[in-house]
Chains A and B, each alone.
Chain A
């Protein structure tokens, strides 16, 4: 009987983290490290958090559960964004309808803010702003999304503003919040606007007509907004637009199928993934822009041929001090992905197995 009990099912246990050293320590690194949020596939409840310690060269995989063993079913389903503000880290978990607020040092949970179908997070003056697909749940006449304003001290939602349908990424310039509306739930009736929110009154000032199905949105330091359009996946191609926030008008259009971008200093790092039917595979390209004068650079951020190994680039970030570029590979999405680190000359420094669909990164200073 003892044999049977012992051999059948193991006692349930907290999912352990895995630790490995992946590069030589650099105790002088100005930036302590970087958190990587793995999305995990829908319904798999496998959103997970990894940490790269730049000073020790240690990679910690799947740290959330050991840090927070008492959270039922862990981080949750589809981690969609991560942001750090002060001593707190905000993890937006889409299907789990929650924003987890964690301590940056320990990854221990401080609070949970429930927001249905939440997507992205950004920060400004002690407030966190979270976009969400639905304002009102269960109302067939309420297709519009919202932005929720959260006080970073009380961790309570203070205000909400209705924006376009299925809003995605946000950026704040001055006292205005810009948010990309996608309308992805109602093809072909996509949204084609960026909503502009006045932060003081927390009302929508206007909508800037850009293109259908907007997605990523980033600000540079020159008062411009870079916003991507996903197109309709058929005849209307994906593009990248630049909006001047002084005039709130489109300033420039790049015919680049930008899936995602990261702006660091004067440079935008972009990758794009497009499905090609004739070739039966994704065509992937990597581009760099100069955001000061909005020109395409001839340089590449992967120069050593590693790009051929990357199946589906799914996340990008740039170390603002060392200019190392981090690119994640989601692979076939149903197995673990990979995190790559390239030096400023585009040569791979290291790679490591991450969680499922590694996607979103945040630096710890």
Chain B
């Protein structure tokens, strides 16, 4: 049984100076962060060829206005990437795009197939809920969604809410996490006379990427349309990486990072005569991948493999939202299969070969009643069933029954927007064998307030408080030898104040400006971690200590009309965070691993006639890869990293159909970097895209 436990921590100083300097002087000087080059006697050369090059696609682009999209009505902090803005980023998956949000730490093990999860405001990946077209993507086994599996091909919008979405008319699930990410797939919009949209994309590039995809939207009737989206992804996952300490200097090629995946989605959307909306969607994702392991001394190659099959079908009905009373109903069934094969672990029955089968059934009803034009109330009730089967020794075969009830209210008094919600969670775990975790009940509140300072609504002050918890996952509770059924839920309290400023300028070079800033304090109680019991074979999950997190975030977006036909957008994100552990033992006030004190990004886009240019810079400051204090910081330091990415797009028409070509260069300066220690990220790599709209 191999189980690694990693923790986090923060930095005392970083190289933020460089970052600020960069921002203040613009990108002309952006390429100056030279890599450290060290000569060395020991050099292990690899034989693989360098990155090859190919093509990738971008979405159709018509918008040429220098506008920013940050909404200023949400009393909880929200960051949105959508449409054109989303497609401009040098991003392959949803995980890549989330790097451009403040407060987000992406855990990326590298390559196309490597696990990618996000940690928002240092609360841990288990406190992030991901919704796809309004319904949560669950994983009762480990509580984490691999965001690397969601390519941007079919995604129209990504929203990240701290606390919860500032909307009371939603499922109880939407109230049930510390942070929520909403992924919205492309919705068909037909112009009069149009019946069919077909978009064909092809992306290729470094690491043997082959990625054809297709989106077909069809208007079936005035009220009903259909969407089919299909995609194939293949990558050999081979990329060069380099390690050096100034004396040794080793370059090698990542092995076992290959992936082959298929995704197909099909859905119907419609509306009824009384303006109710409905949708049905089926989703299937099948993949076969190698699991590249940690690059440690004398062991660079791995042979573990994983197979996945994720499928779901979901349906949504929403009555006319303009009525005084409206309701929403949701139902979903999902089925996940995972197989893990470890040829380095030989048992009496051959290689370790674990199979996990998960089933989930979910349904929700949300009701809203408008008591007066300024006062709404909402009541939502959800039911969810999860079970897990596995071919593990001493496995209890758990089934979890979750009932969620939320009551929420919104009051709009002039420029003041007040929302309060209370979530009741009722969980019961049953097991076929051994002991289950039994029943748990919790009531958790959230209060949010927004105040429009000025009449034009440009400036809004915001604040929220949220108390929420994450339940121990099936792995935490039941994984053979590791699980501990007596775990308590891990609570997270969030306090946040901030402001949003949004202004459109007329007849100025600067056309639009939006600024969002927040400071926050989070406290995690009863953190669930693994500790070894008898020996390293026998880890046990248990609740330990508290984590205190303080931070600040700044998000600036601007649009500029620099000259005739030249439109520029520029964005800046900065996150300051510190997270400490408080367990009463010697690790009291140790830094939580993988929390940089400073991190941020800068993006610049320019449109000129048929060309589109994009530049992005992402910076993550010094982190530590373990709980540590001053004495051992030196041994636990993970070097800061920053990447410069560039892309160019060109639009034209081929046979009167919109066609787009794109080239991306990522990690332009070839920086060797790690996000997770011993999991090297790719050096410079390329993507080529072509998109053809019929």
Contacts and interface: CB of A to CB of B under 8 A. Distances in A.
Interface of A: 1, 3-5, 7-16, 18, 39, 41-46, 48, 62, 65, 69-77, 93, 95-98, 112, 114, 117, 134, 137-143, 165, 183-189, 215, 230, 233-234, 238, 259, 273-275, 277, 280-282, 311-312, 330-336, 338, 353, 355-356
Contacts of B641: 9
B245 A69 contact: yes
Contacts of B678: 43-45
Interface in B287-338: 293-299, 303
B298 A96 contact: yes
A273 B534 contact: yes
B250, B298, B627: which has the most chain A beta carbons within 10 Å? B298
B33 A8 contact: yes
B32 A96 contact: no
A336 to B, nearest CB: 5
A333 B298 contact: no
Interface string B587-620: 1001001000000000000000000000000000
Given A4-B17, A11-B38, A76-B299, 4 more contacts: A7-B18, A8-B15, A330-B532, A334-B529
B210 to A, nearest CB: 29
Interface in B443-486: 480-481, 484, 486
What are the 3 A-B residue pairs with the smallest beta carbon separation, nearest first?
A76-B297, A275-B533, A140-B350
Contacts of B642: 8
A95 B628 CA distance: 23
B534 A7 contact: no
Interface in B621-635: 625-628, 631-632, 634-635
B626 A95 contact: no
A97 B348 CA distance: 22
Contacts of B486: 277, 280
**What is the predominant secondary structure among interface residues of chain B facing chain A?**
loop
7 contacts: A72-B243, A72-B297, A93-B297, A187-B480, A233-B533, A259-B535, A275-B534
Given A70-B41, A72-B42, A4 B33 contact: yes
Given A4-B22, A137-B344, A282-B533, A14 B33 contact: no
B640 interface: yes
Contacts of B508: none
A2 to B, nearest CB: 9
Nearest to A140: B350
A239 to B, nearest CB: 13
Interface string B508-535: 0000000000000000000001011111
Given A8-B33, A8-B640, A134 B5 contact: no
Interface of B: 2-7, 15, 17-18, 21-22, 29, 32-36, 38, 40-42, 44, 243-248, 250, 293-299, 303, 343-352, 393-394, 480-481, 484, 486, 529, 531-538, 540, 542-544, 583, 585-587, 590, 593, 625-628, 631-632, 634-635, 639-642, 677-678
B297 A45 contact: yes
A141 B350 contact: yes
Contacts of B34: 5
Given A9-B639, A12-B244, A143 B346 contact: yes
A5 B7 CA distance: 29
A14 B538 CA distance: 34
B531 A43 contact: no
A233 B538 contact: yes
B631 A353 contact: yes
A273 B533 contact: yes
Contacts, number: 239
Contacts of B634: 15-16, 18
Contacts of A114: 298
Given A4-B32, A8-B642, A46-B635, A186 B5 contact: no
A335 B590 contact: yes
Given A1-B29, A96-B297, A185 B625 contact: no
A41 B4 CA distance: 7
A143 B17 CA distance: 55
A219 to B, nearest CB: 21
A186 B15 CA distance: 49
Contacts of A95: 296, 299
Contact of B36 (A11, A165, A280): A11
B626 A356 contact: yes
B677 A9 contact: no
Contacts of B677: 43-45
Contact of B21 (A3, A18, A234): A3
Contacts of A274: 533-534
B15 A11 contact: no
B540 A15 contact: no
A331 B247 contact: no
A68 to B, nearest CB: 9
A143 B347 contact: yes
A259 B538 CA distance: 12
Contacts of A42: 2-4, 294, 536
B408 to A, nearest CB: 36
Contacts of A333: 5, 531-532
B110 to A, nearest CB: 13
Contacts of B22: 4
Contacts of B593: 334
Nearest to A47: B297
B489 to A, nearest CB: 15
B382 to A, nearest CB: 31
B348 A189 contact: yes
Contacts of A140: 343, 346, 350-351
A139 B392 CA distance: 21
A62 B635 contact: yes
Nearest to A3: B21
A5, A62, A335: which has the most chain B beta carbons within 10 Å? A335
A284 B587 CA distance: 20
Contacts of B18: 3-5, 7-8
B296 A73 contact: yes
Contact of B632 (A9, A77, A336): A336
Nearest to A139: B346
Contacts of B394: 187-188, 234
A23 to B, nearest CB: 18
A265 to B, nearest CB: 27
A259 B245 CA distance: 37
A97 B245 contact: no
Contacts of B535: 215, 230, 259, 273
A92 to B, nearest CB: 12
B632 A65 contact: no
A334 B6 contact: yes
A331 to B, nearest CB: 6
Contacts of A184: 537
A70 B296 contact: no
B626 A13 contact: no
A69 B247 contact: yes
A277 B542 CA distance: 10
Contacts of B640: 8-9
Contacts of B21: 3-4, 7
B547 to A, nearest CB: 13
Contact of B299 (A65, A77, A187, A330): A77
A75 B534 CA distance: 25
Contacts of B350: 140-141
Contacts of A233: 481, 533-534, 538
A184 B480 CA distance: 13
B533 to A, nearest CB: 4
Contacts of A46: 635
A46 B345 CA distance: 22
Contacts of A282: 533
Given A4-B18, A93-B297, A335 B631 contact: no
A212 to B, nearest CB: 13
Contacts of A186: 347-349
A72 B250 contact: yes
B2 A72 contact: no
Given A7-B15, A12-B36, A187-B393, A331 B585 contact: yes
